[in-house]
Structure 1
Protein backbone atom coordinates (compact mmCIF):
# COMPACT_ATOMS: atom_id res chain seq x y z
CA UNK A 1 0.00 0.00 0.00
CA UNK A 2 1.35 3.41 -0.94
CA UNK A 3 1.06 5.87 1.94
CA UNK A 4 0.90 9.57 1.21
CA UNK A 5 2.93 11.52 3.72
CA UNK A 6 1.51 14.86 4.83
CA UNK A 7 2.72 18.38 4.44
CA UNK A 8 4.40 20.16 7.30
CA UNK A 9 1.73 22.20 9.08
CA UNK A 10 1.43 25.50 7.23
CA UNK A 11 3.22 24.28 4.11
CA UNK A 12 2.08 24.81 0.54
CA UNK A 13 0.71 22.47 -2.09
CA UNK A 14 1.41 18.72 -2.05
CA UNK A 15 4.19 18.92 -4.63
CA UNK A 16 6.30 20.85 -2.12
CA UNK A 17 6.75 17.73 0.04
CA UNK A 18 10.46 17.12 0.62
CA UNK A 19 12.41 13.93 0.17
CA UNK A 20 15.89 13.48 1.59
CA UNK A 21 18.28 14.72 -1.08
CA UNK A 22 21.27 12.91 -2.45
CA UNK A 23 23.97 14.98 -0.66
CA UNK A 24 22.29 14.21 2.67
CA UNK A 25 21.99 10.54 1.74
CA UNK A 26 25.72 10.47 1.13
CA UNK A 27 26.40 12.18 4.43
CA UNK A 28 24.22 9.71 6.32
CA UNK A 29 25.79 6.74 4.59
CA UNK A 30 29.34 7.89 5.26
CA UNK A 31 29.00 9.16 8.81
CA UNK A 32 30.05 6.73 11.55
CA UNK A 33 28.48 6.26 14.95
CA UNK A 34 31.28 5.55 17.40
CA UNK A 35 30.26 3.32 20.29
CA UNK A 36 31.09 4.68 23.69
CA UNK A 37 31.03 8.31 22.62
CA UNK A 38 27.63 8.48 20.98
CA UNK A 39 24.58 9.76 22.88
CA UNK A 40 22.50 7.17 21.04
CA UNK A 41 24.18 4.02 22.35
CA UNK A 42 26.14 4.49 25.56
CA UNK A 43 27.84 1.24 26.56
CA UNK A 44 27.80 1.59 30.34
CA UNK A 45 27.22 -1.49 32.48
CA UNK A 46 23.48 -2.08 32.76
CA UNK A 47 20.99 -4.87 33.43
CA UNK A 48 17.36 -5.63 32.55
CA UNK A 49 14.85 -5.87 35.40
CA UNK A 50 11.27 -7.15 35.35
CA UNK A 51 8.56 -6.16 37.85
CA UNK A 52 4.91 -7.22 38.14
CA UNK A 53 2.39 -4.45 37.45
CA UNK A 54 -1.17 -4.35 38.76
CA UNK A 55 -4.00 -1.86 39.01
CA UNK A 56 -6.41 -1.68 41.92
CA UNK A 57 -8.83 0.76 43.47
CA UNK A 58 -5.97 2.95 44.67
CA UNK A 59 -4.15 2.98 41.33
CA UNK A 60 -1.11 1.30 39.81
CA UNK A 61 1.29 -0.81 41.85
CA UNK A 62 4.70 -2.21 40.95
CA UNK A 63 6.02 -5.27 42.74
CA UNK A 64 9.55 -6.49 43.41
CA UNK A 65 11.87 -6.18 40.43
CA UNK A 66 14.25 -9.00 39.55
CA UNK A 67 17.31 -9.01 37.33
CA UNK A 68 16.51 -11.18 34.31
CA UNK A 69 19.63 -10.51 32.22
CA UNK A 70 22.27 -11.46 34.82
CA UNK A 71 24.97 -10.66 32.31
CA UNK A 72 28.16 -8.58 32.52
CA UNK A 73 28.22 -5.68 30.11
CA UNK A 74 25.51 -3.75 28.30
CA UNK A 75 21.97 -5.14 28.61
CA UNK A 76 19.48 -2.44 27.71
CA UNK A 77 16.63 -1.19 25.51
CA UNK A 78 13.79 -3.53 26.60
CA UNK A 79 10.69 -3.91 24.41
CA UNK A 80 7.92 -6.50 24.57
CA UNK A 81 7.42 -8.73 21.53
CA UNK A 82 4.28 -10.12 23.18
CA UNK A 83 2.83 -10.39 26.68
CA UNK A 84 5.07 -13.38 27.34
CA UNK A 85 8.23 -12.47 25.44
CA UNK A 86 10.61 -9.58 26.10
CA UNK A 87 13.25 -8.32 23.68
CA UNK A 88 16.38 -6.40 24.61
CA UNK A 89 19.91 -5.66 23.44
CA UNK A 90 22.45 -7.80 25.30
CA UNK A 91 26.20 -8.29 25.37
CA UNK A 92 27.53 -11.63 24.14
CA UNK A 93 31.26 -12.26 23.76
CA UNK A 94 31.99 -8.58 23.35
CA UNK A 95 29.20 -8.01 20.83
CA UNK A 96 25.70 -6.60 21.27
CA UNK A 97 22.96 -8.88 19.91
CA UNK A 98 19.18 -9.09 20.20
CA UNK A 99 18.06 -11.31 23.07
CA UNK A 100 14.59 -12.61 23.90
CA UNK A 101 13.38 -13.58 27.37
CA UNK A 102 10.45 -15.95 27.90
CA UNK A 103 8.59 -14.72 30.98
CA UNK A 104 6.90 -18.05 31.73
CA UNK A 105 9.93 -20.28 31.21
CA UNK A 106 12.44 -17.73 32.54
CA UNK A 107 14.77 -18.57 29.66
CA UNK A 108 16.82 -16.47 27.27
CA UNK A 109 17.49 -17.01 23.58
CA UNK A 110 19.47 -15.00 21.05
CA UNK A 111 17.57 -13.65 18.05
CA UNK A 112 20.56 -12.28 16.14
CA UNK A 113 24.18 -13.23 15.64
CA UNK A 114 25.74 -10.84 13.15
CA UNK A 115 29.48 -11.20 12.51
CA UNK A 116 31.07 -7.78 12.31
CA UNK A 117 28.07 -5.93 13.69
CA UNK A 118 25.76 -5.43 16.66
CA UNK A 119 22.05 -4.72 17.11
CA UNK A 120 20.24 -2.13 19.21
CA UNK A 121 16.68 -0.95 19.95
CA UNK A 122 14.75 -4.12 18.99
CA UNK A 123 11.00 -3.81 18.34
CA UNK A 124 8.34 -6.19 17.06
CA UNK A 125 7.32 -5.43 13.49
CA UNK A 126 3.50 -5.17 13.32
CA UNK A 127 1.90 -8.05 11.46
CA UNK A 128 5.12 -10.01 11.05
CA UNK A 129 6.98 -12.67 13.03
CA UNK A 130 10.02 -10.45 12.92
CA UNK A 131 11.98 -7.85 14.85
CA UNK A 132 13.34 -4.53 13.66
CA UNK A 133 16.60 -3.27 15.12
CA UNK A 134 19.39 -0.80 14.47
CA UNK A 135 22.44 -2.61 13.14
CA UNK A 136 25.84 -1.00 13.65
CA UNK A 137 28.62 -2.60 11.65
CA UNK A 138 32.27 -2.41 12.67
CA UNK A 139 32.78 -0.36 9.49
CA UNK A 140 30.59 2.36 11.01
CA UNK A 141 27.62 1.70 8.74
CA UNK A 142 24.37 2.07 10.70
CA UNK A 143 21.01 0.99 9.28
CA UNK A 144 17.60 -0.33 10.32
CA UNK A 145 17.12 -4.05 9.61
CA UNK A 146 14.40 -6.68 9.98
CA UNK A 147 15.31 -9.98 11.69
CA UNK A 148 13.03 -13.03 11.45
CA UNK A 149 12.11 -14.71 14.72
CA UNK A 150 12.72 -18.07 13.06
CA UNK A 151 14.75 -19.12 10.05
CA UNK A 152 15.23 -16.58 7.30
CA UNK A 153 17.35 -13.75 5.99
CA UNK A 154 17.76 -10.28 7.44
CA UNK A 155 16.43 -7.35 5.43
CA UNK A 156 17.47 -3.69 5.31
CA UNK A 157 14.33 -1.60 5.84
CA UNK A 158 15.45 1.98 5.20
CA UNK A 159 18.31 2.27 2.76
CA UNK A 160 20.42 5.41 3.11
CA UNK A 161 19.09 6.52 6.52
CA UNK A 162 21.27 6.43 9.63
CA UNK A 163 18.45 5.63 12.04
CA UNK A 164 19.08 6.15 15.73
CA UNK A 165 15.69 5.11 17.18
CA UNK A 166 12.34 4.15 15.70
CA UNK A 167 8.68 3.40 16.42
CA UNK A 168 6.14 1.59 14.27
CA UNK A 169 2.97 3.51 13.44
CA UNK A 170 1.71 0.64 11.29
CA UNK A 171 3.07 -2.29 9.27
CA UNK A 172 4.39 0.02 6.53
CA UNK A 173 4.94 3.35 8.29
CA UNK A 174 7.78 4.24 10.63
CA UNK A 175 8.61 7.24 12.75
CA UNK A 176 12.31 7.44 13.46
CA UNK A 177 15.11 9.68 14.62
CA UNK A 178 17.84 10.01 12.02
CA UNK A 179 21.38 11.04 12.87
CA UNK A 180 22.39 14.13 10.92
CA UNK A 181 25.65 15.88 11.79
CA UNK A 182 25.55 16.27 15.59
CA UNK A 183 21.78 15.97 16.08
CA UNK A 184 18.81 13.66 15.55
CA UNK A 185 15.94 14.65 13.27
CA UNK A 186 12.38 13.31 13.42
CA UNK A 187 11.54 11.54 10.15
CA UNK A 188 8.44 9.70 8.94
CA UNK A 189 9.25 6.95 6.44
CA UNK A 190 6.91 4.91 4.25
CA UNK A 191 8.30 1.49 3.29
CA UNK A 192 6.26 0.73 0.13
CA UNK A 193 7.46 3.77 -1.84
CA UNK A 194 10.60 4.52 0.22
CA UNK A 195 9.45 8.11 0.83
CA UNK A 196 10.75 10.08 3.81
CA UNK A 197 9.65 13.34 5.37
CA UNK A 198 11.51 15.35 8.01
CA UNK A 199 9.18 16.82 10.64
CA UNK A 200 11.53 18.41 13.14
CA UNK A 201 15.25 18.84 13.71
CA UNK A 202 17.03 18.24 17.01
CA UNK A 203 14.81 15.77 18.88
CA UNK A 204 15.42 13.25 21.67
CA UNK A 205 15.63 9.48 21.58
CA UNK A 206 12.35 8.26 23.08
CA UNK A 207 9.59 7.42 20.56
CA UNK A 208 6.34 5.59 21.36
CA UNK A 209 2.92 4.86 19.91
CA UNK A 210 0.38 6.48 22.25
CA UNK A 211 -2.19 3.91 23.46
CA UNK A 212 -5.64 4.03 21.82
CA UNK A 213 -4.72 6.92 19.52
CA UNK A 214 -3.37 7.52 16.04
CA UNK A 215 -0.45 9.46 17.46
CA UNK A 216 3.24 9.02 18.20
CA UNK A 217 4.99 10.69 21.13
CA UNK A 218 8.53 12.01 20.92
CA UNK A 219 10.82 14.25 22.94
CA UNK A 220 12.10 17.72 22.21
CA UNK A 221 15.43 18.98 23.47
CA UNK A 222 15.99 22.52 24.75
CA UNK A 223 19.23 23.16 26.65
CA UNK A 224 19.34 20.46 29.36
CA UNK A 225 15.57 19.95 29.51
CA UNK A 226 13.42 17.55 27.51
CA UNK A 227 9.69 17.60 26.97
CA UNK A 228 7.21 15.13 25.48
CA UNK A 229 5.15 16.07 22.43
CA UNK A 230 2.70 14.20 20.25
CA UNK A 231 2.36 14.09 16.50
CA UNK A 232 -0.01 12.58 13.97
CA UNK A 233 2.19 11.13 11.21
CA UNK A 234 -0.69 11.25 8.71
CA UNK A 235 -2.03 14.77 9.25
CA UNK A 236 1.13 16.49 10.44
CA UNK A 237 -0.55 17.85 13.59
CA UNK A 238 1.58 18.19 16.74
CA UNK A 239 1.01 19.23 20.35
CA UNK A 240 2.53 19.40 23.82
CA UNK A 241 2.07 16.64 26.40
CA UNK A 242 4.32 17.21 29.42
CA UNK A 243 7.84 18.12 30.52
CA UNK A 244 10.21 15.39 31.66
CA UNK A 245 11.93 15.59 35.05
CA UNK A 246 15.44 17.04 35.09
CA UNK A 247 18.01 14.72 33.54
CA UNK A 248 15.44 12.22 32.24
CA UNK A 249 15.38 11.15 28.57
CA UNK A 250 13.20 8.03 28.61
CA UNK A 251 9.55 7.29 29.37
CA UNK A 252 6.75 4.97 28.28
CA UNK A 253 2.96 4.83 28.40
CA UNK A 254 0.54 2.96 30.64
CA UNK A 255 -2.74 1.87 29.02
CA UNK A 256 -4.75 4.51 30.89
CA UNK A 257 -2.86 7.29 29.11
CA UNK A 258 -0.50 8.06 31.97
CA UNK A 259 3.29 8.17 31.67
CA UNK A 260 6.07 6.54 33.64
CA UNK A 261 9.78 7.33 33.66
CA UNK A 262 12.87 6.46 35.65
CA UNK A 263 14.57 9.02 37.88
CA UNK A 264 17.51 7.65 39.83
CA UNK A 265 16.29 4.50 41.60
CA UNK A 266 12.63 5.54 41.36
CA UNK A 267 9.90 5.11 38.77
CA UNK A 268 7.68 8.17 38.50
CA UNK A 269 4.17 8.46 37.07
CA UNK A 270 2.26 11.38 35.60
CA UNK A 271 -1.30 11.70 34.31
CA UNK A 272 -0.99 14.48 31.70
CA UNK A 273 -3.20 17.47 32.29
CA UNK A 274 -3.18 21.04 33.62
CA UNK A 275 -1.05 21.30 36.76
CA UNK A 276 -0.05 17.62 36.66
CA UNK A 277 3.12 16.66 38.52
CA UNK A 278 5.34 13.58 38.44
CA UNK A 279 4.75 11.37 41.49
CA UNK A 280 6.76 8.42 42.81
CA UNK A 281 5.15 5.12 41.81
CA UNK A 282 7.94 2.79 42.94
CA UNK A 283 11.36 3.01 44.59
CA UNK A 284 14.13 0.41 44.76
CA UNK A 285 16.40 -0.32 47.70
CA UNK A 286 18.62 -2.57 45.56
CA UNK A 287 22.11 -1.19 44.89
CA UNK A 288 21.97 -2.81 41.45
CA UNK A 289 19.20 -0.36 40.56
CA UNK A 290 21.06 2.91 40.77
CA UNK A 291 19.78 4.76 37.70
CA UNK A 292 16.72 3.62 35.77
CA UNK A 293 16.64 4.57 32.09
CA UNK A 294 14.57 2.85 29.40
CA UNK A 295 11.23 1.22 30.27
CA UNK A 296 8.60 -0.93 28.57
CA UNK A 297 5.10 -2.07 29.58
CA UNK A 298 3.83 -5.49 28.46
CA UNK A 299 0.80 -5.59 26.11
CA UNK A 300 -1.34 -7.14 28.86
CA UNK A 301 -0.21 -4.45 31.35
CA UNK A 302 1.01 -7.08 33.81
CA UNK A 303 4.74 -6.32 33.72
CA UNK A 304 7.17 -3.44 33.48
CA UNK A 305 10.67 -4.05 32.18
CA UNK A 306 13.39 -1.49 32.68
CA UNK A 307 17.12 -1.03 32.23
CA UNK A 308 19.18 0.17 35.16
CA UNK A 309 22.79 1.05 35.89
CA UNK A 310 24.17 0.06 39.31
CA UNK A 311 24.99 2.63 41.98
Structure 2
Protein backbone atom coordinates (compact mmCIF):
# COMPACT_ATOMS: atom_id res chain seq x y z
CA UNK A 1 0.00 0.00 0.00
CA UNK A 2 1.36 3.40 -0.91
CA UNK A 3 2.44 5.78 1.85
CA UNK A 4 0.00 8.48 0.70
CA UNK A 5 -2.98 6.15 0.90
CA UNK A 6 -1.89 4.96 4.33
CA UNK A 7 -1.75 8.56 5.53
CA UNK A 8 -5.26 9.21 4.22
CA UNK A 9 -6.61 6.12 6.00
CA UNK A 10 -4.85 7.05 9.25
CA UNK A 11 -6.08 10.64 8.97
CA UNK A 12 -9.70 9.60 8.48
CA UNK A 13 -9.42 7.26 11.47
CA UNK A 14 -7.91 10.00 13.62
CA UNK A 15 -10.59 12.50 12.65
CA UNK A 16 -13.34 10.04 13.57
CA UNK A 17 -11.49 9.15 16.76
CA UNK A 18 -11.62 12.69 18.13
CA UNK A 19 -14.70 14.06 16.38
CA UNK A 20 -17.15 11.54 17.76
CA UNK A 21 -19.36 13.39 20.23
CA UNK A 22 -17.24 14.51 23.14
CA UNK A 23 -18.87 13.87 26.52
CA UNK A 24 -20.02 16.78 28.64
CA UNK A 25 -17.50 16.93 31.49
CA UNK A 26 -16.34 19.24 34.25
CA UNK A 27 -12.98 19.54 36.00
CA UNK A 28 -13.10 19.52 39.79
CA UNK A 29 -10.15 20.57 41.93
CA UNK A 30 -9.72 18.86 45.31
CA UNK A 31 -7.46 19.19 48.31
CA UNK A 32 -5.39 16.00 48.47
CA UNK A 33 -4.11 14.28 51.61
CA UNK A 34 -1.71 11.38 51.08
CA UNK A 35 -0.61 9.30 54.05
CA UNK A 36 1.14 5.95 54.31
CA UNK A 37 -2.02 3.86 54.25
CA UNK A 38 -4.72 6.37 53.30
CA UNK A 39 -5.55 8.84 50.56
CA UNK A 40 -8.32 11.41 50.88
CA UNK A 41 -9.67 14.15 48.63
CA UNK A 42 -11.86 16.95 49.95
CA UNK A 43 -13.27 20.44 49.30
CA UNK A 44 -14.27 19.93 45.64
CA UNK A 45 -14.39 23.05 43.47
CA UNK A 46 -15.81 22.99 39.95
CA UNK A 47 -13.27 25.15 38.09
CA UNK A 48 -14.96 24.96 34.66
CA UNK A 49 -18.67 25.00 35.56
CA UNK A 50 -20.25 25.20 32.12
CA UNK A 51 -22.05 22.84 29.78
CA UNK A 52 -19.69 21.02 27.43
CA UNK A 53 -16.35 19.26 27.20
CA UNK A 54 -13.67 20.40 29.67
CA UNK A 55 -10.96 17.82 30.07
CA UNK A 56 -7.30 16.65 30.15
CA UNK A 57 -6.00 18.52 33.22
CA UNK A 58 -2.25 18.96 33.75
CA UNK A 59 -0.52 20.82 36.61
CA UNK A 60 2.40 23.17 36.10
CA UNK A 61 5.37 21.62 37.97
CA UNK A 62 6.13 24.78 40.01
CA UNK A 63 3.25 27.24 39.75
CA UNK A 64 -0.31 27.13 41.07
CA UNK A 65 -1.65 26.61 37.55
CA UNK A 66 -3.76 23.85 36.07
CA UNK A 67 -3.90 23.54 32.27
CA UNK A 68 -6.81 21.92 30.46
CA UNK A 69 -8.70 21.92 27.15
CA UNK A 70 -12.17 23.27 26.58
CA UNK A 71 -14.43 22.74 23.57
CA UNK A 72 -16.43 25.56 22.00
CA UNK A 73 -19.90 25.42 20.43
CA UNK A 74 -18.60 24.14 17.08
CA UNK A 75 -16.36 21.42 18.52
CA UNK A 76 -12.97 23.16 18.52
CA UNK A 77 -10.76 22.77 21.57
CA UNK A 78 -8.30 25.32 22.92
CA UNK A 79 -5.94 25.34 25.89
CA UNK A 80 -6.89 27.21 29.06
CA UNK A 81 -5.18 27.69 32.41
CA UNK A 82 -6.68 28.07 35.87
CA UNK A 83 -4.66 29.65 38.67
CA UNK A 84 -5.97 28.02 41.83
CA UNK A 85 -4.32 30.62 44.04
CA UNK A 86 -5.90 33.66 42.37
CA UNK A 87 -8.99 31.74 41.09
CA UNK A 88 -8.47 33.26 37.62
CA UNK A 89 -8.94 31.52 34.28
CA UNK A 90 -7.00 32.50 31.15
CA UNK A 91 -7.31 31.32 27.56
CA UNK A 92 -3.91 30.42 26.06
CA UNK A 93 -4.76 29.43 22.49
CA UNK A 94 -7.45 30.54 20.09
CA UNK A 95 -6.68 28.71 16.87
CA UNK A 96 -8.53 27.08 13.94
CA UNK A 97 -6.96 23.77 15.03
CA UNK A 98 -7.95 21.53 17.93
CA UNK A 99 -5.49 21.19 20.79
CA UNK A 100 -5.47 18.22 23.17
CA UNK A 101 -3.36 16.94 26.09
CA UNK A 102 -1.56 20.14 27.21
CA UNK A 103 1.73 19.23 28.90
CA UNK A 104 4.49 21.46 30.28
CA UNK A 105 7.79 20.57 28.61
CA UNK A 106 10.77 19.68 30.84
CA UNK A 107 12.39 23.10 30.25
CA UNK A 108 9.11 24.76 31.36
CA UNK A 109 9.22 27.12 28.38
CA UNK A 110 6.49 25.48 26.31
CA UNK A 111 3.22 23.62 26.44
CA UNK A 112 3.35 20.58 24.20
CA UNK A 113 0.08 19.20 22.91
CA UNK A 114 -1.63 17.18 20.21
CA UNK A 115 -2.67 19.46 17.33
CA UNK A 116 -5.52 17.99 15.33
CA UNK A 117 -6.22 19.46 11.92
CA UNK A 118 -9.33 19.39 9.75
CA UNK A 119 -7.72 16.87 7.39
CA UNK A 120 -7.41 14.42 10.29
CA UNK A 121 -3.68 14.85 10.86
CA UNK A 122 -2.64 14.82 14.51
CA UNK A 123 0.77 16.36 15.09
CA UNK A 124 2.76 16.76 18.26
CA UNK A 125 3.59 20.43 18.67
CA UNK A 126 4.48 22.97 21.33
CA UNK A 127 3.34 26.52 22.06
CA UNK A 128 5.30 29.07 24.08
CA UNK A 129 3.99 28.83 27.61
CA UNK A 130 2.70 32.42 27.51
CA UNK A 131 0.17 31.28 24.90
CA UNK A 132 1.44 32.74 21.62
CA UNK A 133 -0.45 31.37 18.64
CA UNK A 134 2.39 29.95 16.51
CA UNK A 135 3.42 26.40 17.45
CA UNK A 136 6.64 24.54 16.75
CA UNK A 137 5.84 21.16 15.21
CA UNK A 138 7.75 18.26 16.75
CA UNK A 139 6.18 15.25 14.99
CA UNK A 140 4.12 15.46 11.81
CA UNK A 141 4.72 12.09 10.11
CA UNK A 142 2.59 10.04 12.52
CA UNK A 143 -0.94 10.25 13.90
CA UNK A 144 -0.24 10.99 17.57
CA UNK A 145 -2.90 10.27 20.19
CA UNK A 146 -1.12 10.98 23.49
CA UNK A 147 2.34 11.85 24.79
CA UNK A 148 4.46 12.32 27.92
CA UNK A 149 8.01 13.56 28.50
CA UNK A 150 10.55 11.31 30.21
CA UNK A 151 13.23 14.03 30.16
CA UNK A 152 14.33 16.97 28.01
CA UNK A 153 15.23 14.74 25.05
CA UNK A 154 12.87 11.78 25.22
CA UNK A 155 9.09 11.57 24.92
CA UNK A 156 6.78 8.58 24.82
CA UNK A 157 3.98 8.85 22.26
CA UNK A 158 0.97 6.69 21.49
CA UNK A 159 0.49 6.37 17.74
CA UNK A 160 -2.85 5.67 16.08
CA UNK A 161 -4.61 3.64 14.77
CA UNK A 162 -5.03 0.30 16.55
CA UNK A 163 -3.17 -1.58 17.96
CA UNK A 164 -2.09 1.79 19.48
CA UNK A 165 1.68 1.41 19.41
CA UNK A 166 3.95 3.04 22.00
CA UNK A 167 7.03 4.84 20.70
CA UNK A 168 9.96 6.43 22.50
CA UNK A 169 11.21 9.43 20.52
CA UNK A 170 14.68 10.89 21.12
CA UNK A 171 14.48 14.43 19.73
CA UNK A 172 18.25 14.91 19.87
CA UNK A 173 19.20 11.82 17.85
CA UNK A 174 15.86 11.65 15.94
CA UNK A 175 15.61 7.97 16.87
CA UNK A 176 12.10 6.51 16.93
CA UNK A 177 11.96 3.28 18.97
CA UNK A 178 8.72 1.28 18.67
CA UNK A 179 8.35 -0.38 22.06
CA UNK A 180 5.08 -2.30 22.19
CA UNK A 181 1.37 -2.08 21.34
CA UNK A 182 -2.12 -2.51 22.84
CA UNK A 183 -1.43 0.52 25.05
CA UNK A 184 -4.03 2.71 26.76
CA UNK A 185 -4.25 6.47 26.78
CA UNK A 186 -2.78 7.05 30.26
CA UNK A 187 0.88 8.06 29.79
CA UNK A 188 2.65 9.73 32.73
CA UNK A 189 6.12 10.67 33.86
CA UNK A 190 7.12 8.66 36.91
CA UNK A 191 8.07 11.07 39.74
CA UNK A 192 11.81 11.28 40.31
CA UNK A 193 12.69 9.03 37.37
CA UNK A 194 13.49 9.45 33.67
CA UNK A 195 10.67 7.04 32.97
CA UNK A 196 7.12 6.99 31.59
CA UNK A 197 4.38 4.76 32.91
CA UNK A 198 1.77 3.27 30.61
CA UNK A 199 -1.05 0.74 30.80
CA UNK A 200 -1.01 -2.25 28.46
CA UNK A 201 -3.63 -4.86 27.73
CA UNK A 202 -2.27 -8.39 28.25
CA UNK A 203 -5.51 -10.27 27.59
CA UNK A 204 -9.27 -9.74 28.01
CA UNK A 205 -9.91 -7.68 31.15
CA UNK A 206 -6.26 -7.90 32.24
CA UNK A 207 -4.14 -4.75 32.01
CA UNK A 208 -0.66 -4.19 33.42
CA UNK A 209 0.75 -0.83 34.54
CA UNK A 210 4.30 -0.77 33.23
CA UNK A 211 7.07 1.80 32.79
CA UNK A 212 9.70 2.46 30.15
CA UNK A 213 13.03 3.91 31.26
CA UNK A 214 14.61 6.12 28.60
CA UNK A 215 18.33 5.55 29.22
CA UNK A 216 19.26 2.72 29.21
CA UNK A 217 15.99 1.75 27.56
CA UNK A 218 14.06 -0.97 29.35
CA UNK A 219 10.47 -1.84 30.29
CA UNK A 220 9.48 -2.98 33.78
CA UNK A 221 6.15 -4.15 35.22
CA UNK A 222 4.68 -2.14 38.11
CA UNK A 223 1.34 -3.69 39.05
CA UNK A 224 -1.90 -5.08 37.62
CA UNK A 225 -4.32 -2.28 36.77
CA UNK A 226 -7.73 -1.79 38.31
CA UNK A 227 -10.55 -3.15 36.18
CA UNK A 228 -11.89 -0.10 34.35
CA UNK A 229 -12.78 1.23 30.93
CA UNK A 230 -9.91 3.65 30.25
CA UNK A 231 -7.44 2.94 33.11
CA UNK A 232 -7.04 6.64 33.89
CA UNK A 233 -4.44 7.21 36.61
CA UNK A 234 -2.00 9.65 38.18
CA UNK A 235 1.12 9.44 40.35
CA UNK A 236 1.59 11.04 43.77
CA UNK A 237 5.07 12.35 44.69
CA UNK A 238 5.62 9.38 47.05
CA UNK A 239 4.96 6.89 44.20
CA UNK A 240 1.39 5.92 44.95
CA UNK A 241 -0.89 5.45 41.95
CA UNK A 242 -4.42 6.86 42.05
CA UNK A 243 -6.75 5.27 39.51
CA UNK A 244 -10.38 5.60 38.50
CA UNK A 245 -12.74 2.71 37.85
CA UNK A 246 -15.32 5.28 36.64
CA UNK A 247 -17.48 5.22 39.79
CA UNK A 248 -14.77 5.39 42.50
CA UNK A 249 -11.09 6.20 43.02
CA UNK A 250 -8.52 3.74 44.31
CA UNK A 251 -4.83 3.92 45.21
CA UNK A 252 -1.90 1.54 45.55
CA UNK A 253 1.56 1.99 47.05
CA UNK A 254 4.06 0.89 44.40
CA UNK A 255 7.03 0.89 46.80
CA UNK A 256 5.90 -2.33 48.48
CA UNK A 257 3.60 -5.29 48.02
CA UNK A 258 0.51 -3.15 48.31
CA UNK A 259 -3.07 -3.73 47.28
CA UNK A 260 -5.67 -1.42 45.80
CA UNK A 261 -7.57 0.55 48.45
CA UNK A 262 -10.42 3.01 48.03
CA UNK A 263 -9.72 6.74 48.14
CA UNK A 264 -11.86 8.58 50.66
CA UNK A 265 -13.91 11.34 48.99
CA UNK A 266 -15.25 14.15 51.13
CA UNK A 267 -17.76 16.00 48.98
CA UNK A 268 -21.12 15.50 47.29
CA UNK A 269 -20.07 14.27 43.84
CA UNK A 270 -21.33 10.68 43.91
CA UNK A 271 -23.30 9.10 41.09
CA UNK A 272 -21.21 10.51 38.26
CA UNK A 273 -18.42 9.00 36.19
CA UNK A 274 -14.77 9.76 37.07
CA UNK A 275 -12.17 9.69 34.30
CA UNK A 276 -8.88 11.60 33.95
CA UNK A 277 -6.84 12.47 37.02
CA UNK A 278 -3.91 14.82 37.69
CA UNK A 279 -1.88 15.43 40.87
CA UNK A 280 0.39 18.43 41.43
CA UNK A 281 4.06 18.07 42.33
CA UNK A 282 3.49 19.11 45.94
CA UNK A 283 0.97 16.32 46.33
CA UNK A 284 -1.70 18.51 47.91
CA UNK A 285 -4.05 19.07 44.93
CA UNK A 286 -5.89 16.62 42.70
CA UNK A 287 -7.82 17.46 39.53
CA UNK A 288 -10.55 15.05 38.48
CA UNK A 289 -12.68 15.00 35.34
CA UNK A 290 -16.31 14.20 36.19
CA UNK A 291 -19.18 13.62 33.79
CA UNK A 292 -22.03 16.11 33.85
CA UNK A 293 -24.71 13.45 33.25
Q: Does the pair score TM above 0.5?
A: yes
1:58–1:237 Cα change, 3 Å: closer
The reply to whether residue 309 of structure 1 matches residue 291 of structure 2 is yes
The answer to whether the Cα contact below 8 Å between 1:36 and 1:43 also exists between their aligned partners in 2 is no
Q: 1:215 aligned to 170, 189, 195, which one?
A: 195
TM-score (norm 1): 0.83
Q: How many angstroms does 1:157 deviate by? A: 0.7
Contact 2:41–2:266 (CA under 8 A) maintained in structure 1: no
* Residue from 91, 96, 105 that aligns with 2:71: 91
Task: Provide closer, same or farther for how the CA distance between residues 42 and 53 of structure 1 changes in structure 2, counting only shifts above 3 A.
Answer: farther
TM-score (norm 2): 0.88
Over 3 Å counting, the alpha-carbon distance change for 1:288 and 1:68 in structure 2 is farther
C-alpha distance 277-58 of structure 1, shift in aligned 2 (>3 A):
closer
Deviates more, 1:295-304 or 1:243-252: 243-252
1:234 Cα deviation from its structure 2 partner: 2.1
1:40–1:164 Cα contact (<8 Å) kept = no
Tell whether the 8 Å contact from 1:29 to 1:161 is kept in structure 2 after alignment. Answer: no
Q: After the TM superposition, which of the residue ranges 46-55 and 258-267 deviates more from structure 2? A: 258-267
Structure 2 equivalent of residue 74 of structure 1: 53
* Contact 1:219/1:227, CA 8 A, preserved across alignment: yes
State the partner residue of 2:210: 229
CA distance in 2, matches of 1:53, 1:261: 14
Partner-residue secondary structure (3-state), 2:223: strand
Question: Which of 110, 118, 134 is 1:130 aligned to?
Answer: 110
1:265 to 1:86, Cα distance in 2 relative to 1, 3 A: same
2:47 is aligned with 1:65: no
Find the partner of 1:177 among 153, 158, 172.
Answer: 158
* Paired residue secondary structure (1:217): strand
Kept in 2, the 8 Å contact 1:215–1:233? The answer is yes
Q: 1:120 aligns with which of 61, 76, 100?
A: 100
Which is further off, 95-104 or 209-218?
A: 209-218
CA distance in 1, matches of 2:163, 2:282: 35
Choose the corresponding residue for 1:259, options 241, 253, 257.
Answer: 241
1:19-41 CA-to-partner distances (Å, cap 9, x unmatched) read xxx96687357522567952898
Cα gap change, 1:138 to 1:57, in 2 (>3 Å): closer
1:26-41 matches, cutoff 5 A: 27-28=6-7, 31-32=10-11, 38=17
Q: Deviations over 1:104-124 (max 9, x none)?
A: 111111111111x21111100
Corresponding residue for residue 27 of structure 2: 48
Shift of 1:238: 1.4
Deviates more, 1:31-40 or 1:156-165: 31-40
Secondary structure, aligned partner of 2:228: coil
Give the match for residue 178 of structure 2. 198
Change (3 A) 1:230 1:178: same
Counterparts in 2 of 1:187 and 1:56: CA distance versus 1, 3 Å: closer
More moved, 131-140 vs 214-223: 214-223
